[in-house]
Structure 1
């Protein structure tokens, strides 16, 4: 049950990161079309990074600890977007929850896709 709850939280955190990146793109200065472009491209780039190296069915799945690099890039960018748009508390909560969730999954011996990890 704890494992399932942590995996569900992980999925929600991934969605929150994508939403934060889209929001950050929309809040950027400039014309409406450039803001729209950033609001689409930022989460798309994050999804590509995630899908290529982090997602459970990624073709180029990285193993721990190398897998932490793209995870930190995505969650770090989402946190930075929240800070830059005037939401430091949300940014801090996202960062702390993502880090805590990753540690909890590691302690449970579970990868982010629910698969067992070797230590």
Structure 2
């Protein structure tokens, strides 16, 4: 396996990690933002909704393939919401590290045809 092939595999691993981190950040947001029993509803509901929408419409193996412009908007929402969630809970540095990582990852996916 050459170095470029290894980097492409690592980029896909980073993408999957960013998706998992997105779900985790919404759990954290729900626990921080909600009051009383709403903490649990938000901590479970927000990542569940995001995961369902991404699984149906956005993931590479989804049954419903969206047109490229709509898929790009969905990606911006799916990977942008965790940034907003982290930023609003005071995790500013982590929010910026996450979104910069997501942007670099997406650029590399485009350059390497990993779509």
Match of 1:25 in 2: 30
Instruction: State the alpha-carbon separation in 2 of the partners of residues 101 and 62 from structure 1.
Output: 20
Is the counterpart of residue 88 in structure 1 residue 92 in structure 2?
Answer: yes
Match of 1:114 in 2: none
Runs of 4+ more than 3 Å apart? none
Q: How big is each residue's C-alpha offset from its partner over 1:54-95, in whole Å with a ceiling of 9 and x where there is no partner? A: 112211122433311111111111111100111011111111
Match of 1:109 in 2: 113
Segments of structure 2 that go 5 or more residues without pairing to the other structure are: 1-5
Normalized per residue, the structure richer in helix is 2
Q: So what's the TM-score if we normalise by structure 1?
A: 0.87
Is the counterpart of residue 14 in structure 1 residue 19 in structure 2?
Answer: yes
Instruction: State the alpha-carbon separation in 1 of the partners of residues 111 and 67 from structure 2.
Output: 16
In the alignment of these two chains, the number of paired residues is 110
Segments of structure 1 that go 5 or more residues without pairing to the other structure are: 112-119
Q: So what's the TM-score if we normalise by structure 2?
A: 0.90
Is the counterpart of residue 43 in structure 1 residue 47 in structure 2?
Answer: yes
> RMSD value over aligned CA atoms?
1.1
